[in-house]
Amino acid sequence: MRACLILPLVMLPLAGCVEFPNLGAAGARAAAEAARAPAPRLVPLRPLLAARAEPRLTPGEGDARLAVRAAALRARAAALDAPVLTPAERARLRAAAARHSG
């Protein structure tokens, strides 16, 4: 049990010793394209924040959508919680397992 806890701690630092993979011509081509690419243009943040769109939901609309989604998820969970086999199917499978178990 102790080895199960210690082994991952010992192996974790070794993950940093892995060599970076050689990407060959594709990697060299991507590096060259990145070096030739222009630097991103920096823009002031205030105009972007001022131009942002109004909220897409009204205050009550978000609550209604959330309630509908919660109800749908509860119905889905109830459907997944239902038994998969009918009692007759379960009895038939148990009888078959008993016959073949030895």
pLDDT given for residue 78 in this prediction: 93
Over residues 49-64, the mean pLDDT reads 77
Contact 30, 23 (CB under 8 A): yes
Residue 67 CA to residue 73 CA, distance in Å, equals 10
The pLDDT value recorded for residue 18 is 73
Q: What average pLDDT does this structure show over 49-54?
A: 77
Per-residue model confidence (pLDDT) at position 7: 82
Which residue did the predictor score with more confidence, 34 or 21?
A: 34
Does the pLDDT of residue 52 top 80, yes or no?
no
Per the CB < 8 A criterion, the answer to whether 8 and 1 are in contact is no
- The residue among 68 and 30 whose pLDDT is bigger is 68
Q: What is the pTM of this model?
A: 0.35
State how far the Cα of 90 lies from the Cα of 29, in Å rounded to an integer: 61
Return the domain boundaries, the chain: 65-102
Name the more confident of 17 and 99.
99
Terminal-to-terminal C-alpha distance of the chain:
35
- Return the percentage of the chain with pLDDT > 70, whole number: 96
